[in-house]
């Protein structure tokens, strides 16, 4: 799975709160993503291939931690860090945090007005556990359902300020995410 796509998909699960996003942070992120995504795409073959859903990774923080570890393992962290700094981020970790918050706010805005029943997902997990599917397949599907449930729960924690900081950039963010698929 492409590292950039993995980052985007993984962002849908939870977010650590370290203050609200500013307009400058969102604008800088939107402006920098073509450069950063291009670098990630160019180096994707050098990154370790891991299916994080199979491994049961359950949070955005864990996904980004693993993504950063992949950069380190491939010997690409320092190069990416330099690039991130040219894009006005203090570090890969600072870029990662802003990326998580923007994506979660984007997802929260996208799901406004939709009612998703967490209990329904919990029931699906129970049905899955009782199914006759092979154990590996059950585990992977359970991990995906659990990740979805965690993401839905975490969307309720997104601050109104973060959503309002992201809202003016929805078209550009949507365009970025659409290009990455």
**Is residue 98 a contact partner of residue 27, using CB atoms and an 8 Å limit?**
no
User: Residues 2-13: pLDDT tens digits?
Assistant: 444 344 444 443
pLDDT attached to residue 86? 96
61 has pLDDT over 70: no
How much is the pTM?
0.76
Point out the least confidently predicted range of 34-48, 81-95, 139-153, 154-168.
139-153
């Amino acid at each position: 799975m492409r590292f950039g796509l993995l980052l985007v998909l993984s962002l849908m699960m939870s977010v650590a709160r370290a203050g609200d996003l500013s307009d400058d942070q969102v604008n800088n992120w939107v402006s920098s993503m073509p450069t950063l995504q291009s670098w990630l795409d160019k180096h994707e073959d050098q990154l370790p291939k891991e299916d994080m859903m199979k491994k049961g990774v359950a949070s955005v923080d864990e996904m980004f931690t693993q993504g950063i570890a992949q950069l380190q393992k491939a010997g690409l962290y320092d190069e990416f860090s330099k690039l991130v700094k040219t894009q006005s981020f203090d570090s890969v970790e600072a870029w990662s945090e802003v990326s998580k918050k923007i994506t979660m706010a984007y997802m929260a805005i996208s799901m406004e007005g939709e009612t998703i029943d967490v209990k329904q997902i919990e029931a699906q997990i129970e049905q899955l556990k009782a199914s006759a599917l092979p154990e590996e397949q059950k585990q992977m599907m359970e991990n995906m359902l659990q990740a979805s449930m965690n993401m839905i729960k975490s969307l309720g924690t997104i601050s109104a300020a973060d959503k309002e900081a992201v809202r003016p950039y929805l078209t550009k963010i949507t365009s970025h995410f659409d290009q990455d698929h």
